[in-house]
Structure 1
Amino acid sequence: MKTIVTATAVLAMLAGSVLAEENRQLEGRKGQFNILALNVGILGGMAKGAMPYDAEAAQAAADSIVGVSMVHQATLFPEGSDSMSIDDTRAQPNIWDNFSDFESKWAALGDAARNMQTVAATGQEAIGPALGQLGGACKACHDTYRAPE
């Protein structure tokens, strides 16, 4: 009986550990997208003239986007962390059917982010086209791998 109780306790701890890791991965994934949205919003506000252009703030936003684009996505997108398997995510299950395509779309975001980083501090007029490239990279992935709201 003591062995059964001990084994049950160990299994419960392991299950709790697995769930905690899944929560960290999902929270990390959400965090990266929140950081992207915040910084794209800053650049978008400047591009539209809704907020004054500030070269230093534009550069900082672009630098942050590049930093996020460098996060290894396999860490944040383990198989089984899709909208059909867990709540509070819009990741489609088809991500894992062609993970290399998913990663290539993430790499395209990185390319667009580095382009934005290059031009962000050069003037308000440079932000719009670079933002279009960034948005296109986001859309390419979302159209394929994100469930609608």
Structure 2
Amino acid sequence: MKRVLLSTLVAALPVVAMAADAEHVVEARKGYFSLVAIEFGPLAAMAKGEMPYDAAAAKAHAADLVALTKYDPSDLYAPGTSADDVKGTRAKAAIWTDMEAYKGKGMAFFEAIAALEPAAGAGQKELAAAVGKVGGTCKGCHDDFRAKD
């Protein structure tokens, strides 16, 4: 009896470990995008005139976004971490079934961030145009790869 119970527990360990790992991956992915939101939020508010334009602050937020694009987020997309697999994420399984399209959307985002950096300190009008392009890349990805609430 003890051997059956022990072998059952040992056999279940990889499943439990994978579930814990999947949850950690999801939390890390959410953390990464939380950082993006923290840096992008003030830029969007300045672009919309919801807060005063501040060239130094805009440049700092844009530089932080550029730094975030230097991180390789591929390990945040481990198989088995979609909303179908793990509670607490809105990542659609389509990410893993069409990873090339997802990567293309990611590259568009990274390119828009690169263009945002010089525009950030050039004035509110320039910032607004660049923020609009970044926001468009976010929306395009969310439309295809993120489930609604």
TM-score range, shorter chain: 0.7 to 0.9
The one-letter code sitting in structure 2 at the alignment partner of 1:52 is P
The one-letter code sitting in structure 2 at the alignment partner of 1:49 is G
The one-letter code sitting in structure 1 at the alignment partner of 2:92 is Q
- 1:70, 1:21 → 2: CA distance? 24
* Aligned partner of residue 136 in structure 2, secondary structure: helix
TM-score of the two chains, using structure 1 as the length reference = 0.87
* CA drift at 1:47: 1.4
**1:62-99 deviation line (CA, Å, top 9, x unaligned):** 12222223332321111221111111111111111110
- 2:56, 2:3 → 1: CA distance? 63
1:92 aligns to 2:81 (yes or no): no
* CA drift at 1:18: 2.6
- 1:87, 1:130 → 2: CA distance? 34
**1:11-51 deviation line (CA, Å, top 9, x unaligned):** 55544433332222111110111111122210011112222
Q: In the alignment, which residue of structure 2 is the partner of 1:32?
A: 32
What are the equivalent positions in structure 2 for 1:12-31 lying under 5 Å apart? 13-31=13-31
Q: In the alignment, which residue of structure 1 is the partner of 2:50?
A: 50
TM-score of the two chains, using structure 2 as the length reference = 0.87
Q: 1:25 to 1:108 in 2, by over 3 A?
A: same
CA RMSD of aligned residues (A): 2.0
Structure 1: unaligned runs, 5 residues or longer = none
- 2:58, 2:12 → 1: CA distance? 48
- 2:27, 2:38 → 1: CA distance? 16
- 2:67, 2:105 → 1: CA distance? 16
* CA drift at 1:127: 0.8
The one-letter code sitting in structure 2 at the alignment partner of 1:65 is L
* CA drift at 1:129: 0.4
Q: In the alignment, which residue of structure 1 is the partner of 2:148?
A: 148
Q: In the alignment, which residue of structure 2 is the partner of 1:121?
A: 121
- 1:66, 1:4 → 2: CA distance? 54
Q: In the alignment, which residue of structure 2 is the partner of 1:71?
A: 71
Q: In the alignment, which residue of structure 2 is the partner of 1:80?
A: 80
* Aligned partner of residue 47 in structure 2, secondary structure: helix
Q: Is the CA contact 1:55–1:120 (under 8 Å) kept in the aligned structure 2?
A: yes
- 1:20, 1:80 → 2: CA distance? 11
Structure 2: unaligned runs, 5 residues or longer = none
